[in-house]
Structure 1
């Protein structure tokens, strides 16, 4: 990602302005952002550690939770450290190659996460609709292959974004009125024709995420049909409860993604500082809440996390 074909006349660095209009209070704004980021890192790292240490959790569902945790760490880390450098140390400069690399990761990792969420929906479908064949349809090796496929898809679909942008001329204007190098924010300061860039970014949003949402909806329609056939109310509620965490994560992630994407293109009436703050919530709120949601709703995982927490808190680690 370092050897972009940059135009010779273009700038060697861009300037990230942070939150236009709120420069005086950016230090205060950094407090909740840094707290959310640290909580997200601790929560997701704890999930990864507990699943790695406990052999009883070496199952497809928990492997998918680990994949989700990794994407959460990647999403927040692609933006927040640089944002905090702007807030705390006024380090606004970023190299063009660094900016385009950030563009790739902050758009590519969510696509990878979307693939993980689709696989989670398929996992719940198999667990509820074909429980006797679950171990034959889904195993750790197959989940790993699906994860690799999702990674390849994210790279192939999102790599053109920074590559197309690297061919754009950037004349006198090299100031980006944003905290991070979002694709459309960078496109707006180019003095060339960005029609292809805009069309490709919008198409990927609706094709990739739209297709993934359709697959998730299909999985849940089949799940609901199977659940409605269950006569026992206890079994009925137990089946639905297994999907609660995934549904919460899906709704939260999709809401933030579509809000951020659409307001960058069609939100001219929204004040820039409001848009930037709300858009940045996607990079801290879901990564912070996802491990909490799965920790609370997944009994076995909750018990294992509690076990390790008690070892740390009790004297002598007993």
Structure 2
């Protein structure tokens, strides 16, 4: 076979990122514990919301959806990473790589959109308290979530379509990432990948910068509305309902925002540092979200206490 042959569909990819980390075996063990915690925490929160009629509200419909997305996102990402460690299985076929790429980016995109929906729900509840019950109904919230799911699907399908148009010059490609990430993989193509660069830029704006801008503008409006509340207790109560969402937003957006901002201003980042940061920013939010929501939300804690009282065995 000629050395300069072009493979429109290579046999597969070697994922080299995590093995390059110092003491990588400890990091794989850490990922396994985080994944187990992610499953247990989110499934527990899903069950609490499912079984508690008091939580069958538009707000907790979003939280319920976020937990499902967190479980799905982690399952699309972490088991394959652990498999690399347990069986030294770093090779990923083209089709499997494409499948993982699609689902990881789809659920990541949907999580970003759900955080925007949470900001919108807080905005309506605080700025329009008398009309919030008619503006945000369960059926309307379901429609908003369904629309965002379809929008996320459209965005990621566009990325996937552009990716399958690429040609590669080797049958097996080495990828310095911890999974079949769209960016590191399409950069290895030997055909023109300009459309992919443009699509990636659009994706970054659509999934990170625009949602974050909307969330920040929402909180500007919320702060203005809260400042008009004369009671100090009322102000604190209004702000307290927003703290959980602000923590979730910070955990989700800040690590990846810092990484890409540094990359865009052409500051050289060590490959291991980049892989470690991007992997942590991918696996920690799904792990932390149910913990934060359970511990910081009084309604959820109250439902847990009621559940324990109902199922406690009296001597």
TM-score by length of 1: 0.90
Measure, in 2, the Cα distance between the counterparts of 1:245 and 1:163: 37
How far does residue 19 in structure 1 lie from its aligned partner after superposition? 2.2
Distance in 1 of aligned mates of 2:169 and 2:186? 12
1:205-235 residue CA offsets vs partner (Å, 9 max, x unmatched): 1144322222212221111111001111100
Name the SS of the counterpart of 1:174 in structure 2.
Answer: strand
Deviation, structure 1 residue 11: 2.0
Written as runs of structure 1 = structure 2, the 5 A alignment for 1:163-174 is 163-172=161-170, 173-174=172-173
Task: Indicate conservation of the 8 Å contact 1:253/1:286, yes or no.
Answer: yes
The answer to whether structure 1 residue 279 and structure 2 residue 278 are counterparts is yes
* CA–CA distance in structure 1, aligned partners of residues 302 and 95 of structure 2: 45
Q: Deviations over 1:245-264 (max 9, x none)?
A: 00111111111332454567
Asked whether the 8 Å contact 2:9–2:94 carries over to 1, the reply is no
Give, in whole Å, the separation in 2 of the partners of 1:257 and 1:30.
21
Contact in 1 for aligned 2:226/2:238 (Cα 8 Å):
yes
Q: Does 1:103 align with 2:94?
A: no
CA contact (8 A) 1:157 1:204 kept: yes
User: Separation in 2 of the partners of 1:207 and 1:81?
Assistant: 28
> Contact (CA 8 Å) 1:27, 1:88: kept in 2 or not?
no
Q: 5 Å matches for 1:1-318?
A: 10-22=9-21, 25-172=23-170, 173-262=172-261, 269-308=268-307
CA distance in 2, matches of 1:262, 1:153: 25
Unaligned runs of 5+ in 2: 1-5
1:265 and 1:130 mapped to 2: Cα distance?
A: 39
Q: Deviations over 1:147-186 (max 9, x none)?
A: 0011111011111212211111112251212220111110
Report the alpha carbon displacement of residue 44 of structure 1 after superposing the two structures with TM.
Answer: 0.8
Q: CA deviation at 1:143?
A: 0.8
Distance verdict in 2 for CA 1:201–1:79, change over 3 Å:
same
Comparing 298-307 with 47-56, which one deviates more in the overlay?
298-307
Counterparts of 1:247 and 1:259 in 2: how far apart (Å)?
A: 17
> Do the aligned partners of residues 262 and 73 (structure 1) sit closer, same or farther apart at CA in structure 2, a change above 3 Å counting?
farther
1:43-76 deviation digits (Å, cap 9, x = unpaired): 1111101111111111111111111112211222
SS at match of 1:270: coil
Distance change in 2, residues 1:311/1:102 (3 Å): farther
Q: Counterpart of 2:20 in 1: which secondary structure?
A: coil
Segments of 5+ residues of structure 1 without an aligned counterpart are 1-6
Query: RMSD value over aligned CA atoms?
Result: 2.2
Structure-2-length-normalised TM-score: 0.91
Distance 1:307 1:239 in 2: 25
SS at match of 1:66: helix
Distance 1:253 1:104 in 2: 19
1:113 to partner: Cα distance: 1.3
* Contact map agreement 1:18 1:86 (CA 8 A) in 2: no
> Shift of residue 30 of structure 1?
0.9
Distance in 1 between the 2:310 and 2:75 partners?
29
Structure 1 residue 140, shift from structure 2 partner: 0.9
Contact kept, 8 Å, 2:7 with 2:169, in 1: the verdict is no
